[in-house]
Amino acid sequence: MTSSTNSYDFVVVGAGTAGCVIAARLSEDAGVRVLLLEAGAAEPPAAVAAPLAWPSLQGTSADWAGVSVPQAATGGRIPWPRGRGLGGSSSINGMAFLRGHRSSYDAWVRAGAEGWGFDDLLPYFLRSEHVEGRDPTVRGDAGPVHVAPAHSLHPVTEAFLAAASEVGYPAASDVSGGLDEGFGSNDLNIVDGRRQSAADAYLVPALDRPNLDVVTDALVHRTRLHAGRCTGVEYSVGSEVFVAEARGEVVLTGGTVGSPLVLMRSGIGPRSHLRDVGVDVVVDLPGVGANVQDHPRSTVIYQAAGPMPDRTNSHADALGLIRSDPELDALDLQLQLVDIPYFAPALPPPMSADASGYSIALAAMTPRSRGSVRLAGADPGEPPVLDPNYYSDPHDLEVMTAGLRVARRIGTADALEPWRGREVFPGGEVRDDASMREYLRRSLRTYSHQVGTCRMGTDALAVVDTGLRVRGVEGLRVADASVMPTIVSANTNATVYAIAERAVDLIRG
């Protein structure tokens, strides 16, 4: 039974990166009422603010702590951390703030997202960020998100960049800007030694506005639909159920997992799946929950030759974006130095607790494998069925194998010799293609860059149009990582900020 109903102009579902942006921007207009709903808590764990603490945030109250179904390629389940609470994944990620290469967004246009190329998104990248000392035609200097490279790189990171140059890779003047190829220090959203989440940058300054309500610990059950229009949402806080009516629009910003779940519980999704889980079909949209893409990731881990200097910044301050094959048009491989042993949970600890080490992480940036997010049942409290389907396309494993070779070339370069002890993972016995591929299967972990489940486009499997409107329903949009037709060649957070900033303009009309 519904306990109460309230009416708003806009209801925003999910206070992650996109939700914080959209709720804050829409509430700039004092003439509209905005409701922002978030399933997580109002107060994050204290460790969220500490840049070096991000590896420890997985499994805390700030994480939905999802786990995939068993993966055919790996033989096991893959943990899928994603942010829960104000700021969403921007509160638990590694704070790397960078755009995909412009070729990533050109691929969106080819996939049917006309008007969403790099140049179309550039004004929104500029609007979101505050970066000093860069080309103002391509980098923003007045946005809410303050980003900059590390003030001083860890000595092993400096050696990593020198090693990349030593083996022939170019230095990038701005590896975060989306225009360069090569290696360099990337931007981080760290301000005065503390993480700056989307909640910090956008939402907190707006919280005193009388026209903005933020409700936390609020689990959205479904949207409410009448005569082809979304009229609001139903949600619960504890045992109480509420209805929030929307005079204007409902905007789903629950991310690649959360947004398709709300759609499917509302009867919007693939007909056969909805019937299987006991949900009445309202709009048959077969693309909802399909098209999952993620960057598969692995690491080469070295035991340090001696004591490591104290860590600063975020554990990962520099990376390279390159091509696995020089003949490729797009950049499809990222290498990153992580100044701790960073390995898949399925692997045993690579060294004793008192030993130190570092990792060279590798990730395929343009994977071809596609997975799905599905309901386990109609109950909104049931965990979803997550199937990323890693390595289902052999191309991805080929790119990762090439990346493993590059990581080792860099790892064994003279520049890293003063820091390099033994190679712990994969280990000296892993040399031929077959054993490298086996290691890449065992060591796979998510990069937590899942996208695509409500993808934008014009074909039958598109979920939203290029205005981010859900097909077949008026008054309902999706604006988060789930609308990306294809994954970008970078950590995804900066792109989500840009999508959200553009969504505000689209909503305002």
Give me the residue spans of the domains in the chain.
149-186+296-364+391-443
* Cβ atoms of 374 and 263 closer than 8 Å: no
What are 319's two structure tokens? 């990376």
**DSSP assignment of 339-382:** SS----TTSPPSS-TT--EEEEEEEESS----BEEE-SSS-TTS
Q: How far apart are CA 279 and CA 299, in angstroms?
A: 42
Q: How far apart are CA 71 and CA 28, in angstroms?
A: 45
Q: How far apart are CA 361 and CA 425, in angstroms?
A: 11
Binding residues for FAD: 220
In the chain, the N- to C-terminal Cα span, in Å, equals 36
Model pLDDT, residue 16: 98
Is 138 exposed, middle or buried (CB count within 10 Å of its CB: 0-12, 13-18, 19+)? Answer: middle
Q: Which residues are catalytic?
A: 449
* Cβ atoms of 434 and 441 closer than 8 Å: no
Binding residues: 220, 447
Q: How far apart are CA 479 and CA 19, in angstroms?
A: 8
Q: Tokens 């960057």 appear where?
A: 295
Q: How far apart are CA 80 and CA 103, in angstroms?
A: 27
- At a CB cut-off of 8 Å and minimum separation 6, what does 286 contact? 269, 270, 271, 460, 461
pLDDT by residue, tens only, the chain of 509 residues: 556 779 999 999 999 999 999 999 999 999 999 999 999 999 999 999 999 999 999 999 999 999 999 999 998 999 999 999 999 999 999 999 999 999 999 999 999 999 999 999 999 999 999 999 999 999 999 999 999 998 889 999 999 999 999 999 999 999 999 999 999 999 999 999 999 999 999 999 999 999 999 999 999 999 999 999 999 999 999 999 999 999 999 999 999 999 999 999 999 999 999 999 999 999 999 999 999 999 999 999 999 999 998 887 899 999 999 999 999 988 999 999 999 999 998 899 888 877 899 999 999 999 999 999 999 999 999 999 999 999 999 999 999 999 999 999 999 999 999 999 999 999 999 999 999 999 999 999 999 999 999 999 999 999 999 999 999 999 999 999 999 999 999 999 999 999 999 999 999 98
Under DSSP, the state recorded for 292 is B
Q: How far apart are CA 120 and CA 167, in angstroms?
A: 36
What are 484's two structure tokens? 């990306």
Model pLDDT, residue 457: 97
Provide the CATH number for the domain formed by 149-186+296-364+391-443 in this structure. Answer: 3.30.410.40
Half-sphere exposure of 144 (CA within 13 A, CB side): 21
Question: What is the reported pTM?
Answer: 0.97
Under DSSP, the state recorded for 476 is E
Nearest to 122 by CA among 134, 110, 137, 106: 137
Q: How far apart are CA 182 and CA 335, in angstroms?
A: 10
What are 212's two structure tokens? 């903005």
Q: What is the dihedral of CA 174, 364, 127, 88, to 10 degrees?
A: -130
Q: What are the helix (H) ranges across 209-310?
A: 255-265, 271-276
